[in-house]
A and B are shown apart, each in its own frame.
Chain A
Amino acid sequence: MTLAHPSLPRYLRIEQDKIEKIARSHGLDFFPVVFEMLSYSQMNEIAAYGGFPNRYPHWRFGMEYERLAKSYEYGLSKIYEMVINNNPSFAYLLEGNSLTDQKLVMCHVFGHVDFFKNNFTFRSTDLDTMDRVVDPTTKRGNGYDPNRKWIDKMANHGAAVRRIVDRYGIQRTEEFIDVCLSLENLIDPWSRFVVRRTVEDEEDEHPREVEVPRMRAKEYMDEFINPSEYIEEQKKKLTLEREKSKGKHPQTREQDVLLFLIENAPLERWERAILSIIREEGYYFVPQMQTKIMNEGWASYWHSKMMTGDVCDWSEIVDYAENNAGVMATSGGRLNPYKLGVELFRSIEDRWNRGQFGREWEECSDLDDKKNWDLRLGLGRDKVFEVRAMYNDVTFIDEFLTEEFAIEHKLFSYSWSNRSERFEIESREFRAVKEKLLAQLTNFGNPQIFVEDSNFENRGELLLTHDHRGVDLRADYARETLSALVRIWRRPVCLATRADGKAVVLRYDGKEHSSRSSDS
């Protein structure tokens, strides 16, 4: 039994049933999908709200709406499909699209929903019965059917913010939301999967002896492997470190800056509520940012497999091909995540079908042998299903983007040239390209920033550190963001980072921005 929205015409309902059956026969495993038919203005509206029919009020949704509506009106782009990670999943079809297009979208959507359900990163969006996020590492049994009522949750957030607006006025509320949005990306994408904080039990009453980790050794060898002078030395060092961090808050640096602020900043109740909402919604979108390439690749892999297999009839294939070519196009040297993803999945399938993996393959240096390598293993299909469950974009690219692939798809890295004042192709060398791509995807493309100390220099100032990995922060934005932090922390805020090769501490005290070199 499938769910259906009343706006979905009968003939599409029939198609949905057909496609759903085909998708299942291929082994796809998805939440129930509700298709809804929208006019283009409704589509633009929902797209502006990030796919949700109900969000909290904020002008930037209006801005996004204008951009979408304009580009639709001028014929620059149009949104074909949208699907929400929710259980049941909601997917939107654009009214007036041809039947072929609608079928294409449906096939694509089932790919996405299978991905939502099975890829591990999305498990951090599972909710419990109180609509709180559950620990994604808990084991799941058979018949996995999590609560992902995010549409309701977002609507509740909307209602909560509207109540605040009624009380404090749209101006004040919106200004505070602006401040929170400046900090939206200061979250820890993996915090839901690992325990970062350990509660130091009764630390002050019974200070434990510092323990130096020892290497394993047979008893008679111990003195040689773990010499006692060395152990003593380490012990002193560790004790000293512990002394140093005593009374320091937070004890270890904290990447979930938003959580730290929610727990420690002097906020009013309504402000805390808004900041919590922004943080929660921020986390909801993290898996989608972490798997953009895989997710689109997987959906495209399946729409093309199904459309050219059982779904299209001959009269539709030309329209399908034209449309598909548009989606897959790489113009202006830009990397298209749909294209990159689908090609990687196909390459994995092909390699595992032909046994092009493992030690023997790696060690083979004969190009001709490699080219004709075919062990007829037929493991491709199983492998792609496994990959879609267990990888994210970073590990996906890291493991499966091979040199052959990079050459075949003409990948290059580019960088800014000061001399000619433009972006130029920097390299086609495999390692360089891959490194750049991975760097771009790490921490979903955001700088890694930590709360280091909430009582910096014993003045109650907040110190953040930027883990600098070769790319400076954008200076004017960094200053503005510091202002936003001061608005929340109500004391001066400092950021330790690097600029132009030098270590600097940026500081904003509520009136003036300053920056001092911190190279020792």
Chain B
Amino acid sequence: MSLKIDQDHSRFRGIVRGKIRDNLRRYISQGELLGRKGKDIVSIPVPHIDTPRFIFGDKQKGGVGQGDGEVGDAVGGEGDEQQDGAGQAGKDAGEHILEVDITLDELADILGEELELPAIENKGKSRIIAAKDKYTGIRRVGPESLRHFKRTYREGLKRAIASGAYDPKNPLVVPQHEDKRYRSWTEDLEPVANAVIIYMMDVSGSMGDEQKEIVRIESFWIDAWLRRQYQGLESRYIIHDAVAREVDRDTFFRTRESGGTMISSAYRLAAQLIDQHYPSTEWNVYPFHFSDGDNWSMEDTLTCVEILKRDVLPRVNMFAYGQVESPYGSGQFIKDLREHLSGDERVVTSEIRDRDAIVGSIKDFLGKGK
């Protein structure tokens, strides 16, 4: 059913989108959004969308509250959810910034529009569906382990009052069999990931905190975009110095080693992963490799090229290499890659000089619609 409010609502969204779009580049390079990532929702602060008026400054104003506490104790309830128009008192004590929740999907759309990213053509074929149990309801029978205490008590209390057995002076409620309530569940069908990103990162001594932060921000946006394109998305993380190993997301961004750099080790491991878990008939595979481009030897670089050509490129949608500038790295690797693989459409390389270059680099990586 269409509502009258729809027009007003879409104009409001337009204003918000305009604001987000204006600020998007800033958000991207500052990584402001990352800390705010909830489940699938990102809160974006949109300044000054409420109407300015002559009003009292908050800090001098204060107010009146109710409850326990000594003089000098902090008063809670700042920035809490408003109750339905319940007076001006005490609410919105902090900043007057409206936080607009938008879904990651919407954010990805805005990103896509802003960077003019093309939609990706799906390479994988099947989509696997898996079932998952969710506790959603209440029923009268069930195992004791699923008994809903509060509901059961309430039923008991109701029965006691209705039958006149309830004595306010001795408020004892004994639940009987028919009072008992149990949690019940339904099966949810969920599509299983059919795309995978394999992130690889050089964690040798020359990659500093700033370099890692850039990788972190960039990978967030790549995640957001690809997640928008595919129903489900898996991510795998590989770190390497002279040897490579698979780690979880946290470790990926935190680890710092001091060894040398053998990029081939990472490529070999990635090829192995793809071989074992992600047959290219079913999966869209996206390896992303970030490094400062300082490989151990030319020999190892040649090995890399060979592994890419033979084991990786035939099985992936694209292979992305991002080179983060660091004070120590020679930055040779990207040149070598370009030299050896320049003819291959599936290979995308990008140099990321600093945070401001992230936007351009995302466009490099995702602009081909692979």
Contacts and interface: CB of A to CB of B under 8 A. Distances in A.
A178 B51 contact: yes
Contacts of A409: 66
Interface string B50-66: 01111111111111111
Nearest to B98: A63
A239 interface: no
Given A183-B53, A335-B90, A59 B61 contact: no
Contact of A62 (B13, B64, B71): B13
B138 to A, nearest CB: 14
A487 interface: no
Given A185-B54, A412-B65, A318 B75 contact: no
Interface string A416-441: 10001011111110000100110010
A477 B8 contact: no
The number of chain A residues touching the other chain, given as a range, is: 35 or more
A59 B59 contact: no
B281 interface: no
Nearest to B155: A318
A378 interface: no
Contacts of A77: 81, 83-84
A330 B66 contact: yes
B325 to A, nearest CB: 39
Interface stretch (B157-165, B192-200, B348-356): B157-165
Contact of B73 (A317, A425, A471): A425
A484 B72 CA distance: 40
B205 interface: no
A66 interface: yes
Given A423-B93, A436-B64, A59 B8 contact: yes
The DSSP consensus for interface residues of chain B is: loop
B62 A45 contact: no
Contact of A423 (B12, B75, B101): B75
A152 interface: no
Contacts of A58: 8
Interface string A393-426: 0000000000000000111111110001011111
A41 interface: yes
A336 B10 CA distance: 33
B282 to A, nearest CB: 35
Contact of A332 (B5, B57, B73, B76): B76
B130 interface: no
A71 interface: yes
Given A314-B162, A414-B75, A477 B55 contact: yes
B54 A478 contact: yes
Interface centre among A65, A412, A466 (most CB of B within 10 A): A412
A315 B248 CA distance: 54
B128 interface: no
B66 A411 contact: yes
Given A436-B63, A471-B60, A57 B7 contact: yes
B57 A472 contact: yes
Nearest to B49: A63
Contact of A181 (B51, B84, B87, B162): B51
Contacts of B161: 314, 317-318
Contacts of B89: 334-335, 440
A60 B51 contact: yes
A30 interface: no
A337 B82 CA distance: 13
B72 A425 contact: yes
Given A63-B49, A181-B53, 7 more contacts: A59-B15, A174-B11, A334-B89, A339-B66, A410-B67, A445-B88, A484-B52
Interface of B: 1, 3-5, 7-13, 15, 49, 51-78, 80-81, 83-84, 86-91, 93, 98, 101, 154, 157-158, 161-162
